[in-house]
Structure 1
Amino acid sequence: MNNASMPRPRNFMDTHLLHILRTLLTEQSVSRAAVRLGLSQPALSNALRKLRDISGDPILVRSKNGMVPTERGLELLAHANDALAAIDRITSPPQIFDPGTTRRVFHLGAPDYLDAMFLPNIAAILRHEAPCSRFIIHTIHAEHDYTSALENGTLDVVIGNWLQPPPQMHLSRLFDDEVVCMVGSQNPIAHRPLTLQQYLQLPHLAPYPYVSERQSFIDGCLAARGLQRNIQMTIPYFGQVAGMLLRTDLIFTTGRQFARHYARYLPITLLPSPFEFPPMRFYLLWHRRSHGSPEAAWLRQCINRVAAMLQASQADARQGTEPSGTCIARPHAPSK
């Protein structure tokens, strides 16, 4: 076999050699490159020999006006510039995130249970503090593989309530919501105390995604005590709940935050639950791939601010000091 046709062994190229290569090709002189790099001329000559051995090309050749780069040398200069720029990006600290100028697309997964209050307040903050960004909300349900979406970056964060949150994710606790019952004010049960036996026998409305393959928070808590409610109708979206209750004798079990929003504007009555459900606990989930991202961290901070604000509103409502009207987030001033 001809030695010229044999593949050359891959030699080690470090950052120091890349700097020397770029300087030699830029200065087109060993002596000038040595002065610029603060090295001796023999050291630069040795480095040039090593670079010639690695590349299999003279890189610089003599001409009547001095040394000039070969065609391969000019190609190597472009590669060296690209490589050193990439190394600078890798080794430099991340740029300070400015929400006021970012064009980042934020992806949030959440059940539409949160559409009434929580998500609009997050949207208000993003529109005020990050007006150039885009905000995309993805509805999650029992069949949605949100863990894979967080792992591959399709989603930045997920909000939800689980009896047992996924253990492999980063999580923070957002808020607790008291479980109550919703009925249309025309429903006879709206005007009398509700017993546990009546509650279990009444016709229940339930969201479809949470009864298809696995139990919802409500049904899981009941099942743990050997109880089962009478689900007579299922719907795919929480936004359909109020309309269904106003035209039927159905009862809906949910969090106070959701129920209170509709009771403000519609003839909806809230009833204490005769079963002692634990609070519906909502969590914010994210994957370790985005844990250190300044943009994703800022989004999580916005979500936590809304959670704290709505929790304070819940406390005011329990104390009878809640202001009238819809609760709107007060966005902070944009970061400078």
Structure 2
Amino acid sequence: MTIAPPLANIDLHLVRVLSTVISERSVSRAAMRLGSTQPQVSTQLRRLRSLTGDPLLVRSGTGMVPTDAALSLLAPAQRLLREAETLFGPTRAGRRFDPAETEFTLNLAASDYLDPQFLPTLVTRLRSQSPGVRLVLHPLTGDADYRTKLALGEVDVVVGNWLRPPGELHLGRLITDDVVCLVGDDHAAARNPRAWTVERYLASDHVAPTPLHPGAPGVIDEYLALQGQSRRIAVRSAHFGLVPAMLPGSGLVLTTGKLFCLRYIGRLPVRIVPCPLRFPPMAYYQLWHDRTHASAAQRWVREAIRAVARELVDGPAAEAGRAA
């Protein structure tokens, strides 16, 4: 019964010698390809013969030919070298990445507060540049602990807005956006903007997104709390993209970024009015964990996210904002 050699006796260079000697059918030519010497390759071939229990190369006329066993080992040896190249070579994660040729899965968690066109535009860009990417889009909801999901690898990138982003994660600023109010055309603030005072704003019925985690205020209410103020929230919605359609006839006020609101002007009977309170600009970020920080694929994704966010600011929405 043949006893398999311990794996500890086999190194990757020995596998490369095996592949090269069998392919070249010559110790001298193998030595040249390997940048080695003929005596060194001969020594390594003797070791390979001992490990495999086969002569591997035998004489035939004036040359050498591989044995049947050697030919059967060639494909596994080459496959192992390719896998090693993937693990440790220049194309491994963190060194080089070709989006057009690579298949990978991206788990992205994002709010839809930034712009209703953000996710559709991002998906189109990623799919056009990397046909092999598989996208899983996760909502940022009250029962989703995005910090834990990033740490566990269940999510790769989170896109959202925070008044004070978590400090333990990597952060990339995307855009800042002025805070405005969006109301129905029939709202008192739209009919008489001069009477739209701080007192009337705070006393109005407001619609707000569902918090990112239970008990957490959104950025608007967090800022109001810091000023010792509060507003009356009449509607909480996990479906932020549907909120503008709730405004006409309801008396509700939506306070959010201007970029989001501009998408609905002309499409719905709504109007943008300035906030009587001066809120700081709304800052949107992408967050990621240290485990993906060095990944070339994830760096490419983060750059695509940044570019799409910037294009939305500089594109048609910006033109609409200047016209408004």
Instruction: Give the TM-score normalised by structure 2.
Output: 0.77
Secondary structure in 1 matching 2:273: strand
Structure 2 distance, partners of 1:37, 1:67, is: 16
* C-alpha displacement of 1:292: 4.5
Residues 25 and 310 of structure 1, relative CA distance in 2, 3 Å threshold: closer
- Cα displacement string for residues 291-334 of structure 1 (whole angstroms, at most 9, x for unaligned residues): 4545443433333233323333576566x446xxxxxxxxxxxx
Q: Which residue number corresponds to residue 191 of structure 2?
A: 191
Structure 2 distance, partners of 1:255, 1:167, is: 23
Structure 2 distance, partners of 1:61, 1:128, is: 49
- Cα displacement string for residues 96-143 of structure 1 (whole angstroms, at most 9, x for unaligned residues): 6255x7665544321122452333433454566556755553322233
Listed as ranges, the matches of 1:75-224 within 5 Å are 76-89=73-86, 90-93=88-91, 97=98, 99=100, 106-114=106-114, 116-126=116-126, 135-151=135-151, 153-192=153-192, 193-210=195-212, 212-224=214-226
Query: Contact 1:183 / 1:246 at 8 angstroms: preserved in 2?
Result: yes
Q: Which residue number corresponds to residue 242 of structure 1?
A: 244
Query: Structure 2 residue aligned with 1:16, among 13, 17, 25?
Result: 13
Secondary structure in 1 matching 2:224: helix
- Cα displacement string for residues 137-175 of structure 1 (whole angstroms, at most 9, x for unaligned residues): 332223323334444554443210012223333322111
Specify the code of the residue in structure 2 equivalent to 1:50: R
Instruction: Give the TM-score normalised by structure 1.
Output: 0.74
Specify the code of the residue in structure 1 equivalent to 2:117: M
Query: Contact 2:31 / 2:41 at 8 angstroms: preserved in 1?
Result: no
Which runs of 5 or more residues in structure 1 are unaligned?
Answer: 323-336
Structure 2 distance, partners of 1:11, 1:129, is: 43
- Cα displacement string for residues 43-63 of structure 1 (whole angstroms, at most 9, x for unaligned residues): 44433443355x373554979
Equivalenced residues, count: 312
Query: Contact 1:107 / 1:136 at 8 angstroms: preserved in 2?
Result: yes
CA RMSD of aligned residues (A): 3.7
Secondary structure in 1 matching 2:263: helix
Structure 2 distance, partners of 1:166, 1:124, is: 29
Residues 77 and 139 of structure 1, relative CA distance in 2, 3 Å threshold: same
Specify the code of the residue in structure 1 equivalent to 2:89: T
Secondary structure in 2 matching 1:265: coil
Which runs of 5 or more residues in structure 2 are unaligned?
Answer: none
Indicate the percent of aligned positions where both proteins have the same amino acid: 35
Secondary structure in 2 matching 1:112: coil
Matched, 1:37 2:31: yes
Query: Contact 1:161 / 1:281 at 8 angstroms: preserved in 2?
Result: yes
Structure 1 distance, partners of 2:11, 2:105, is: 36
Q: Which residue number corresponds to residue 47 of structure 1?
A: 44
* C-alpha displacement of 1:194: 2.4
Q: Which residue number corresponds to residue 330 of structure 1?
A: none
Q: Which residue number corresponds to residue 257 of structure 2?
A: 255
Secondary structure in 1 matching 2:77: helix
- Cα displacement string for residues 246-270 of structure 1 (whole angstroms, at most 9, x for unaligned residues): 1312222211122222233222232
Structure 2 distance, partners of 1:131, 1:14, is: 37
Residues 161 and 82 of structure 1, relative CA distance in 2, 3 Å threshold: same
Residues 60 and 126 of structure 1, relative CA distance in 2, 3 Å threshold: closer
* C-alpha displacement of 1:283: 0.7
* C-alpha displacement of 1:180: 1.6
Query: Contact 2:176 / 2:281 at 8 angstroms: preserved in 1?
Result: yes
Residues 35 and 260 of structure 1, relative CA distance in 2, 3 Å threshold: closer
Residues 295 and 9 of structure 1, relative CA distance in 2, 3 Å threshold: closer
Residues 57 and 143 of structure 1, relative CA distance in 2, 3 Å threshold: same
Query: Contact 1:110 / 1:139 at 8 angstroms: preserved in 2?
Result: yes
Secondary structure in 2 matching 1:247: coil
Query: Contact 2:183 / 2:254 at 8 angstroms: preserved in 1?
Result: yes
Query: Contact 1:59 / 1:70 at 8 angstroms: preserved in 2?
Result: no
Q: Which residue number corresponds to residue 301 of structure 1?
A: 303
